[in-house]
Amino acid sequence: MKATKSQALALAQKCKNILASNWHGNLNTIKADSKGSKQEIYTSKVKYLLRKGKPYIWVPEKDLHNVNTLIDERASFAVPRPYPGPLANLLRSMKKLPVRIALTGEVVPLGDEKVNQPFYER
């Protein structure tokens, strides 16, 4: 049975929706407190996105990661599963699993004017 163009587009849209809703990873920062304790690591799930080849991590404003990165700039970000379960099953059935990559860089906060700018203008 031959798939029509609309069916192929529907499948592509489903894959895109699955990916867009599941782009999250684990951000690890070193806990900074008044005692000077730097032995513990604070970990939580945060959302991320890739825009024009640059990764952006979305950390909520009142999250402890914001304080930790101001005091101690060391952090790591890991994506344990780059594609979610339903999409992985689909890609595995087609024998088209994507390759894995590693990114290195610095955690830099966005400026206020960049945050308030509409996303399509960035």
Assess if residue 30 is contained within a domain. yes
Assess if residue 18 is contained within a domain. yes
Q: Which residue range is the domain that position 44 belongs to?
A: 13-105
Assess if residue 114 is contained within a domain. no
Assess if residue 37 is contained within a domain. yes
Assess if residue 83 is contained within a domain. yes
Query: In the structure, what pLDDT confidence band is assigned to residue 106 with cuts at 50, 70 and 90?
Result: low
**Could you tell me the pTM of the whole model?**
0.54
> What is the pLDDT at residue 64?
74
Assess if residue 48 is contained within a domain. yes
Assess if residue 117 is contained within a domain. no
Query: In the structure, what pLDDT confidence band is assigned to residue 90 with cuts at 50, 70 and 90?
Result: confident
Mean pLDDT of 4-11: 66
Total domains present in the chain: 1
Assess if residue 110 is contained within a domain. no
Query: In the structure, what pLDDT confidence band is assigned to residue 25 with cuts at 50, 70 and 90?
Result: confident
| Least confident segment among 3-12, 18-27, 42-51 | 3-12
> What is the pLDDT at residue 57?
78
Please write down the HEC assignment for all residues of the chain. CCCCHHHHHHHHHHHHHHHHHCCEEEEEEECCCCCCCCCCEEEEEEEEEEECCEEEEECCCCCHHHHHHHHCCCEEEECCCCCCHHHHHHHHHCCCCCCCCCCCCCCCCCCHHHHHCCHHHC
